[in-house]
Amino acid sequence: MNHSLFSLPRRIHNRAGPLTCNLFAALLPLTFLSSAALAYEPNEGHRKLTQAAFEVLEKCKMPLSAELKQQVMAGNLAMDKGAAKLPDSLMDSIHANALYPMKVRVHNWHFYHPDKTSDAERLSGKTDMSMARLWQAGQTGLATADNGHKGYYLGALLHLIQDVTVPAHTTPVYHGPKIIAWKGEFAPLIRYLGWRHRGLFLISDPIDKWPVVGVKVGVKLGDKFDAPCPAVIADVNDETAPLAEAFDTLRETTSRQTLSALDAPIQGCGEPWGIFWRQNIGHRYFSGYNQALKPFDKEGDFVFNGKQCTPDYQSFVAARHQAAVDASVAALALWLKESGALNRSGS
């Protein structure tokens, strides 16, 4: 069985005419919507951040097996790329089918604000504007899957934790396909934007595509800079909460670190970094990109409220990337402890 959205039965491929045209017309909107609210680019973002976390654990003598690394990476990337490359045996699970198929992305987005978690705030008809349903499917899958598949669910959760280090995913600010504007409640998420923020089909966020460079492959966990590996292991061993609860706490803590970073002042003017992502657009869940400023990657130095701002954009984004690696290390270390591999490592 091939789980690709576009792996159609051969008899359909061999028939021309209205059926083919109608099918294409039906699939085209789904193609755009399935990319809704991507955070880091899959290969240039999530892959590199996850690989850096693997390398940290190896330096700490807490290595993952080759099979587990393969599963974690595949499960992580499939959250954006879909289920086509995942094994059939995994996709027989209802939990995997609630996570990975492209059609799931239409009504399940990757945003998360720790103080906007109620149904009234995050649900709009069939659509969960947050990652809540995906997160629950990943947590349940990790808890109930057989040992041969757990790594895929661990990768899915890692992906969502990495996402909350992106300001637009935690503030949150909608970015993704513009086609959502056909629905009345979603129209304000598109219409407030000036032309300079508009693409033909998609609204993109600059940090999603920012190159991952200069990430420390040392140990930097939480507020511990270059902490020795034993300190990382001690932090994990001090964790007594059930794994699901520990993951919930890690996601919330990581998202609040992102929100705190947005409160930090920009060099020169003292305005908070959050001015790029916190325009009030009157929506119950989303904020907007500040229309008084150019997009984050095009602004350069600027004057705001009469003050000269000289932002160090690279350092700001690098800190978000480092936070993603730190959180990934913590999540993987928690899993090593849960599985018993941490104790077997002899560390």
| Segment of 161-175, 183-197, 325-339 carrying the highest mean pLDDT | 161-175
Q: Where are the domains of the chain?
A: 10-344
Reduce the DSSP state of residue 276 to 3 states and report it.
helix
The string of pLDDT tens digits covering residues 242-277 is 999 999 999 999 999 999 999 999 988 989 999 999
Residue pair 201/177 in contact by the 8 Å Cβ criterion: yes
Tell me the HSE value of 183 on the side-chain side, using a 13 A CA sphere. Answer: 14
The token duo for 98 is 């609630």
| Distance in angstroms (rounded) separating the CA atoms of residues 98 and 117 | 19
Q: Residue 233's pLDDT is what? A: 63
pLDDT, tens digit (0-9, with 9 covering 90-100), for 86-127: 999 999 999 999 999 999 989 999 999 999 999 999 999 999
Does residue 239 surpass a pLDDT of 90? no
Question: Chain-centre distance of CA 233, in angstroms?
Answer: 25
Residues forming a β-bridge with 162: none
> Is 70 exceeded by the pLDDT of residue 73?
yes
At 268-323, the pLDDT tens digits run 898 999 999 999 999 999 999 998 888 888 889 999 888 999 999 999 999 999 99
Distance, in Å, from the CA atom of 229 to the CA atom of 325, rounded to the nearest integer, reads 15
For 64-92, b/e burial (b = at least 16 CB within 10 A) is beeebbebbbbbbbbbbbbbbebbeebbe
The rounded mean pLDDT for the chain is 84
pLDDT digits (tens, 9 = 90+) for 188-234: 999 898 665 556 788 989 999 899 986 766 554 444 434 446 566 66
State yes or no: pLDDT of 3 exceeds 80.
Answer: no
Q: Say how many C-beta atoms besides its own lie within 10 A of residue 275's C-beta.
A: 18
| pLDDT for residue 19 is more than 60 | no
Residue 229, CB-side half-sphere exposure with 13 Å CA sphere: 16
Q: How far apart are CA 77 and CA 64, in angstroms?
A: 18
- Confidence label for 17 from pLDDT (cuts 50, 70 and 90): very low
Sheet bearing 123-124, strands edge to edge: 108-111, 127-130, 123-124
Cα separation, 256 vs 260, whole angstroms: 6
Could you tell me which residues are beta bridge partners of residue 342? none
Please give the DSSP secondary-structure letter assigned to residue 295.
Answer: -
For residue 334, give the H/E element and its range: helix 313-339
Strand residues in the chain grouped as ranges (E): 108-111, 123-124, 127-130, 302-304, 307-309
Q: Pick 24 or 228 by higher pLDDT.
A: 228
pTM of the model: 0.85
What would you measure as the largest C-alpha separation in the chain, in angstroms?
A: 66
